[in-house]
Amino acid sequence: MAKIPPVKGTRDFYPELMAQRNWITDGWRAVSCRNGFVEYDGPIFEHLQLFTQKSGPGIASELFSLTDRGGRDLAIRPEMTPTLARMVNQQINALPRPIKWFSMPRCCRAERPQKGRLREFFQWNADIIGSDSVLADAECIYTALDYLRSVGLTAEDVEAKISSRSMLAALLVDAGFAEDELDPLYQLLDKKPKLPAEAFNEMVEQQVPDAAQRENIMRLQAVRSLDELDSLAQSDAAKESLAELRELFALLGTMGVADYCRFDISIVRGLAYYTGPVFEIFDKSAALRAVGAGGRYDNLLAGLGGQKVSGTGFGMGDVVLGILLEEKGLLRSANTTLDYFVVDAGPELFTQALELVCQLRQQGFAAGFDYRRTNIGKQMKQAASQGAREVLILGQETIDKNEITIKDMAQGTQKTMQLEDFMAEIEQR
């Protein structure tokens, strides 16, 4: 019978890779908690309508969808934000604000696998709901950068490119575009960083036939600093959005991450629900897809049947992050070593060895032993292969069952002591 391979675009997490995944997610959780976020989760599949209502019917072709036995159209989640919005909408009046939640869901997208993008992945999400303050936007950007900094990525390695959807909207209206022309323009401008200049210019000519308006778009896209926008911001809306963006950068400076951040007007975020500051985090070489991205979405909850409540947040996937960390030599593994490995010098000591293993486990230590009744040398090799910090040997130096030999595997030193004294010491730890 032929072996069945894993589905293309998915990963098998053997213990070594699982330890790396846990190291990443443990870091996500630790940074989330120290920045005041609390964890939540939701079902891996939702009603298909939840995603089409948010992103349009075309999104269905990008999802793994199914019809259940009751005839309901469902889909495996491609992202967590719709689930978050649904959950908050259900209890909006009972939840204290601001709501600061994070999650690390497994998500799936029915797309062509390529470098940095798989059909199945894990994504860290952190959101703040119920605050209109730009400080909430700053804290989300800071939290994402706080994690990247904690794993050793410096401002020479990654940068957060920041812009504002509301500012861009106001500037486009000032440049002569109608409100109903903006969404198609966002999708067009979002493609600019991903396309050669000639290809992008050709798309602009096809979508914007008026030469004067095309020139206005190119003038906006050529802006490299907030100061350059002063002369272009004519309306009050444009000036207010520009002031908000300046405040955001000032806050990020106060938070100590200004060196990771820069203004980039080409950051648009193609999704229609963004309404304010938006950002994407890239490796400085720009060789990879975005490590993380997010922004403000003040209309999302209302668009999914709830109240109009402000929201801002971000997502960071494990695939691109893992590639970047590995390239930089920063990818680590969660601790999977044993604290103790118990060795018995003879079969008659096995019962005592097993009792000791379980006593250690009851005290909260990771402890193991060899299933096979082999000699001390082979048991020591087993202890080394499992990465035990210390080996506890019964019956090596003495036949006294009340004594134990303790070997430090890193230092190679060992000592003998009374088992009762050792257990007393263990309890104190």
Handedness of CA 17, 19, 21, 23 (dihedral sign): negative
Q: Does this model's pTM top 0.85?
A: yes
370-386: per-residue pLDDT in tens? 998 889 999 999 999 99
Question: Based on C-alpha coordinates, what's the Rg of the chain?
Answer: 28
400-409: per-residue pLDDT in tens? 668 899 999 9
Check whether the bond before 98 is cis (ω within 30° of 0): yes
Quick one: CA torsion of 420, 426, 428, 429, rounded to 10 degrees? 170
Instruction: Enumerate residues 6+ apart whose C-beta is below 8 A from 239.
Output: 233
- Residue 65 contacts residue 75 (beta carbons within 8 Å): yes
Tell which phi-psi region holds residue 52, choosing left (phi > 0), alpha (psi between -120 and 50) or beta: alpha
pLDDT > 90 fraction of the chain, expressed in percent and rounded: 71
Q: What is the mean pLDDT of residues 268-276?
A: 81
Higher pLDDT, 236 or 200: 236
Angle between helices 81-90 and 48-55 (to 10 degrees): 110
- Strand partners of residue 122: 106
Q: Indicate if the pLDDT at residue 362 is higher than 70.
A: yes
Q: What is the mean pLDDT of residues 196-205?
A: 84
**For strand 277-283 and strand 292-296, is the pairing parallel, antiparallel, or unpaired?**
antiparallel
The full DSSP string for 371-420 is: SS---HHHHHHHHHHTT-SEEEEESSS-S-TTEEEEEETTT--EEEEEHH
The full DSSP string for 7-37 is: PTT-----HHHHHHHHHHHHHHHHHHHHTT-
- Strand partners of residue 367: 340
Q: What is the mean pLDDT of residues 88-103?
A: 95
Task: Outline where 133-235 has alpha helix (H).
Answer: 134-150, 165-174, 182-190, 197-207, 211-221
- Residue 186 contacts residue 177 (beta carbons within 8 Å): no
pLDDT > 70 fraction of the chain, expressed in percent and rounded: 98
Selection from 331, 249, 320 nearest residue 286 by Cα? 320
Q: What does pLDDT average to over the chain?
A: 92
Q: What is the mean pLDDT of residues 183-198?
A: 82
Selection from 243, 245, 290 nearest residue 265 by Cα? 245
H/E segment holding residue 315: strand 311-317
Q: Indicate if the pLDDT at residue 399 is higher than 80.
A: no
Q: How does DSSP classify residue 289?
A: -
Q: What is the mean pLDDT of residues 296-309?
A: 90
Instruction: Enumerate residues 6+ apart whose C-beta is below 8 A from 36.
Output: 100
- pLDDT recorded at residue 398: 54
Q: What is the mean pLDDT of residues 240-262?
A: 97
From CA 123, how far away is CA 144, in angstroms rounded?
12
Selection from 171, 190, 145 nearest residue 316 by Cα? 145
From CA 55, how far away is CA 71, in angstroms rounded?
22
Main-chain dihedrals φ then ψ at residue 232, nearest 5 degrees: -90, -25
Q: Indicate if the pLDDT at residue 397 is higher than 60.
A: no
Question: CA geometry: angle at 19 spanning 15 and 22, to 5°?
Answer: 130
Residue with tokens 């100590």: 256
From CA 272, how far away is CA 182, in angstroms rounded?
10
323-353: per-residue pLDDT in tens? 999 999 999 999 888 999 999 988 889 999 9
- pLDDT recorded at residue 335: 87
228-242: per-residue pLDDT in tens? 988 888 899 999 999
